[in-house]
Chain A
């Protein structure tokens, strides 16, 4: 069974602060997705990373895939209240083998 550990599980910060959340595994993934989920809604895809060492930017969000494709990080610059939500990572380890992390619950206080 492939496991994806996310840390921290909870994060409460002030508007304007920077933060990083981590997604770690002992398994290699062919791709890794990051999703954001708001209360009462389904997860929404933010980005897919594929190549070891890859960095993708989405406005104030920076995603990095580890060189060995076993881990990933999400960095948010100058967090805003609209960034509040549950951030999930999901690793693809084979045909229909997608493993989701438990998630990082982020609260950005105005």
Chain B
């Protein structure tokens, strides 16, 4: 299961409050991702990280920020939660790091996902 945990698993909060979700991995993977999953939209990328302190925006990054101070932890913060951010949030890691590309073993973005966090913003 790639050793990915997410916390909390469920959270209910009120509009305007800050919220931080944590993703923790135990296998030293370089790439980590935050997605949200909503009915009718599928999985959409919020932010991703390609190393400690290296992050970039995804498709739906407005209203979200991320931080990665250690390889194993990738935090997603909603500075001021809104009802439109009610969703299920998934963290993922990429199973093949750049080393695989250099060794010519293929370079595919196969991802392993955490169990998800269900966030409700009232």
A: residues with CB less than 8 A from B are: 30-31, 33, 40-45, 48, 50, 88, 90, 92, 96, 98, 100-103
Which 6 pairs between the two chains have the least Cβ-Cβ distance? A42-B113, A100-B43, A102-B42, A31-B108, A100-B42, A92-B109
Residues of B near A98 (CB, < 8 A) are: 45, 109, 111
| Minimal beta-carbon separation of A39 from chain B (angstroms) | 10
Residues of B near A43 (CB, < 8 A) are: 43, 90, 111, 113
Whether A103 contacts B45 by the Cβ 8 Å rule is no
B-side interface residues, number (CB < 8 Å): 23
Q: Which residue of B lies closest to A41 (CB)?
A: B115
Whether B42 contacts A40 by the Cβ 8 Å rule is no
B: residues with CB less than 8 A from A are: 4, 40-45, 48, 50, 56, 90, 92, 95, 106, 108-116
* 15 A-B interface contacts by CB (under 8 A): A41-B115, A41-B116, A42-B90, A42-B113, A42-B114, A43-B90, A43-B113, A44-B113, A45-B111, A48-B108, A90-B43, A90-B109, A96-B48, A100-B43, A103-B42
Residues of B near A30 (CB, < 8 A) are: 108
| Minimal beta-carbon separation of B101 from chain A (angstroms) | 11
Among A41, A42, A88, A96, point to the contact of B42 (Cβ < 8 A). Answer: A88
Q: How far does the alpha carbon of A48 sit from the alpha carbon of B108 in the complex, in Å? A: 8
Whether A102 contacts B41 by the Cβ 8 Å rule is yes
Residues of A near B41 (CB, < 8 A) are: 102
Residues of B near A45 (CB, < 8 A) are: 95, 110-112
Q: How far does the alpha carbon of A31 sit from the alpha carbon of B106 in the complex, in Å? A: 10
A100-B43, A101-B42, A102-B40 known; A33-B108 Cβ under 8 A: yes
Residues of B near A33 (CB, < 8 A) are: 108-111
